[in-house]
Structure 1
Amino acid sequence: MVPSEKRSRSIKSWPADERPREKLLARGSEHLSDAELLAVLLPTGGRNVNAIERGRALLTRFGSLRALLGASPRSLAAAPGLGPARVALVCAVGEIARRAVERRVAPHAPLRTSAEVYRHCGARMAALRKEQFHVLLLDGKNRLIKDVRISEGSLTASLVHPREVFVPVIEESAAAIILVHNHPSGDPTPSAEDIAITERLRKVGDLMGVSVLDHVVIGEGRYVSFADEGIF
């Protein structure tokens, strides 16, 4: 914790072992607070504000480090002190972090379990601030053909219409699909609307000879699989 009397002083005037960059190099990044890590990433503050204070202000504005790194360029640009270069830097770091923890499945690789689905898209979708509904198109051996985004916004029957879901299924000659969407609240518990939409899509799939294998709801660090939970 930085003493209160030092908070408005330039970080350059602090003892070396208290400066975020020097502290990171000497002790490791795990010993820095979120605000200190942001101070290393964005090393200058502003008028009467040092980099750590700027980091705290950003965390307060966005609510958490995850939310900050998942924010859109437009949202970041509205934050005081973030010009185009800093916005681009924060977006790039967020994307690097998501790619590092996410094991995206390459086309034609099999998706056999809900855990594999979560590894494929969990980190990316958990960071979204709006709901997105995706369909994973699979061939007859459950190998991924394509990951298709169907809609963005609150999940409703009007946004997730069978026509929008099954057009790419027909175009790609998919034999089966897995439904995936996120809950920005962080709680992946399926809603009544989630269950109703899933049942509707399953019935259409049955008529078309296309298996709806699962519906995976992504939350904050966890997920719910309809197949695993026996909701189907």
Structure 2
Amino acid sequence: MPIDLQPKMMIRDVHIADRPRERLIRQGAESLSNQELIAILLRTGTRKESVLVLANRILSSLDQIQDLKDATIEELMSVKGVGQAKAVQILASAELGKRLYRKHTEGGRYAIRSPEDAAAYLMTDMSSLKQEHLIVLFLNVKNEVLYKKTVFIGGLNSSIVHPREVFREAVKRSAASIIIAHNHPSGHPAPSPEDIDVTKRLIEAGSIMGIDVLDHIIVGDHKFISLKEKGYM
């Protein structure tokens, strides 16, 4: 069970078997709450507050735990009790987590068999973007990702997003097919008329080039829509 400390209760007041480090050793990291994991990173609290209270204050400053990967050192240091050293520890850990995830998905050929596979490959990076990004996945004949590239940043519009930018890279990479993806910073992945127009234009260009457009994934706030599944392709 996660520890619920009173504001003035210090970590030394908690039975040793219930402290985060001891619980991690005994039960594994997956058994700890977000608060307890951050407390282990911080190592110490302040003279007046325990490390768990400080960890909880950091979590309270975020809308969701995923926001930690995009936090700046200034934002973390604005939390009472967090100095430069503690902010650096947290940011280093968040960056390590991102690199481990990318290594997991990019270390070998990542095969995409479903819209869920494509969304899983893209979601971590795309769901927190503040502007619309059009990203293309270039696939081989086995539907394995050869390359990922951001080809446009800004609101999607069929008169701006030109097929040549997409298919030039597809030819360069000898791609058999592509998957288009873009994000909605609003958090709602429902397709706009412009999204559908861009998709149809790219499908037509791909047909001429002999390169299939397999899907268009729209990413919102940790949710997505597949235009193929919705019948727009």
TM-score band, normalised by the shorter chain?
A: 0.7 to 0.9
Give the TM-score, by structure 1 length: 0.75
Kept in 2: contact 1:216–1:226 (CA 8 A): yes
Q: Distance in 1 between matches of 2:143 and 2:99?
A: 28
How many residues end up aligned between the 2 structures? 224
Q: Distance in 1 between matches of 2:10 and 2:160?
A: 51
Q: What aligned pairs does 1:146-161 form with structure 2 within 5 A after superposition?
A: 146-152=147-153, 154-157=154-157, 160-161=161-162
Partner of 1:43: 43
Partner of 1:23: 23
Describe the shift of the 1:16–1:105 C-alpha distance in structure 2 as closer, same or farther (beyond 3 A).
Answer: closer
Q: Distance in 2 between matches of 1:93 and 1:126?
A: 19
Aligned AA (1:95): K
Query: What is the DSSP-based 3-state SS (H/G/I as helix, E as strand, rest coil) of the residue aligned with 2:214?
Result: strand
Summarize deviations over 1:188-214 as a string: whole Å, max 9, x none.
333333223222322333344432221
Q: What aligned pairs does 1:64-213 form with structure 2 within 5 A after superposition?
A: 64-68=64-68, 70-72=69-71, 75-80=72-77, 81=82, 83=84, 85-95=88-98, 98-99=101-102, 103-104=105-106, 106-107=108-109, 110-126=111-127, 128=129, 130-140=131-141, 142-152=143-153, 154-157=154-157, 160-213=161-214
Q: Which runs of 5+ in 1 are unaligned?
A: none
Kept in 2: contact 1:104–1:121 (CA 8 A): no
Aligned AA (2:231): G
Partner of 1:2: 4
Q: Distance in 1 between matches of 2:132 and 2:167?
A: 20
Kept in 1: contact 2:135–2:182 (CA 8 A): yes
Summarize deviations over 1:20-39 as a string: whole Å, max 9, x none.
22233344445433212210
Q: Which runs of 5+ in 2 are unaligned?
A: none
Q: Distance in 1 between matches of 2:96 and 2:51?
A: 17
Q: Distance in 1 between matches of 2:31 and 2:94?
A: 23
Q: Distance in 2 between matches of 1:46 and 1:131?
A: 41
